[in-house]
């Protein structure tokens, strides 16, 4: 594999494995290659005794834009097959984060959309910098944040989910902290680094056994019924994608026009 084809990079230093999404050309979308490389990096960190914690970060202005359906279709998959593959990949990624017997810490300073929320929601700790924005725009496309809702509803407050799932509006780091999506939001790059350093120092003081046991306590409720819940949401997502409203929503989005149902004043 040539260096240009590597979409996920991993390096370990001072007991911390930093995994970097490095596919800025497509906004770190979850292509089959990126998903495979990310799973491999997480699995390797999981069994590496030198690793006490995992930090997931990114290059470019977007942390993750969600699924890369276009890439799946280019490989010859039907829309139904592509939707099923993407759903399975998203569920598997979220579960790998939760199953990891070490802290998974997401550090971002860019945009989060669609499946990117699943990565943030599945992490134990999530930090964001001043350039971060968040928007769950699925409802505007005739869709819903189906699969990622399994982790988001476990982290976000009921009121914030009710607002952002339904309106699709954009919000920033401080609002994401208030919503329960983020652990902390910094107003500068230096502040983000300081927040991360403080957390990592705490993790380095903990024993591997203590970390693993403590994490199991925090993830037990989420893991109970996780596979059944993600399977049900995947079926729901597939049905929505094949609907007339979703086709209109996606067509309007690609054509940069309002969909037929848009009753907004702008």
79-94: per-residue pLDDT in tens? 777 788 888 999 999 9
Q: Check: CB of residue 197 under 8 Å from CB of residue 105.
A: no
Q: Check: CB of residue 148 under 8 Å from CB of residue 174.
A: no
Query: Average pLDDT for residues 27-32, to the nearest whole number?
Result: 94
- Kindly report, residue by residue over 173-188, the tens digit of the pLDDT: 999 999 999 999 999 9
Question: Residue 106 CB: number of other CB atoms within 10 A?
Answer: 27
Name 64's bridge partners.
Answer: 112
In angstroms, the CA 193 to CA 205 distance is 19
Indicate the angle between helix axes 79-99 and 32-47, nearest 10 degrees: 20
Q: What is the pLDDT of residue 223?
A: 96
pLDDT at 5 over 90: no
State the maximum Cα–Cα separation within the chain, in Å, rounded to a whole number.
57
Name 30's bridge partners.
Answer: 67
Handedness of CA 110, 112, 118, 124 (dihedral sign): positive
Q: What is the pLDDT of residue 1?
A: 40
- Kindly report the backbone phi and psi dihedral angles of residue 94, in degrees, each rounded to the nearest multiple of 5, phi listed first: -60, -45
Query: Which domains, ranges and CATH numbers included, belong to the chain?
Result: 3-188 (3.90.226.10)
Q: Check: CB of residue 172 under 8 Å from CB of residue 132.
A: yes
Q: Whole-prediction pTM value? A: 0.94
Indicate the angle between helix axes 208-223 and 79-99, nearest 10 degrees: 140
DSSP SS3 for 15 = coil
């Amino acid at each position: 594999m040539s260096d240009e084809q590597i979409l996920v990079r991993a390096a370990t230093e001072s007991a911390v494995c930093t995994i970097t999404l490095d596919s800025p050309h497509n906004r770190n979308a979850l292509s089959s290659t990126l998903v495979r490389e990310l799973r491999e990096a997480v699995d390797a960190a999981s069994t590496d005794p030198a690793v006490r914690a995992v930090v997931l970060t990114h290059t470019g202005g977007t942390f993750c834009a969600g699924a890369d359906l276009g890439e799946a279709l280019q490989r010859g998959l039907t829309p139904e097959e592509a939707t099923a593959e993407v759903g399975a990949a998203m569920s598997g990624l979220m579960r790998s984060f939760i199953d990891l017997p070490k802290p998974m810490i997401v550090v971002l300073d860019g945009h989060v959309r669609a499946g990117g929320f699943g990565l943030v929601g599945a992490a134990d700790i999530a930090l964001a910098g001043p350039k971060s924005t968040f928007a769950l725009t699925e409802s505007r496309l005739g869709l819903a944040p189906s699969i990622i809702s399994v982790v988001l509803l476990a982290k976000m407050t009921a009121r914030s989910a009710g607002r952002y799932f339904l309106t699709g509006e954009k919000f920033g780091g401080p609002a994401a902290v208030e919503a329960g999506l983020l652990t902390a939001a910094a107003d500068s790059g230096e502040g983000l680094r300081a927040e991360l350093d403080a957390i990592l120092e705490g993790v380095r003081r903990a024993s591997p056994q203590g970390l693993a046991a403590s994490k199991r306590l925090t993830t037990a409720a989420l893991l109970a019924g996780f596979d059944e819940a993600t399977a049900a949401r995947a079926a729901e997502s597939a049905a929505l994608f094949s609907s007339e409203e979703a086709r209109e929503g996606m067509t309007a989005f690609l054509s940069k026009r309002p969909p037929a149902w848009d009753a907004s004043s702008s």
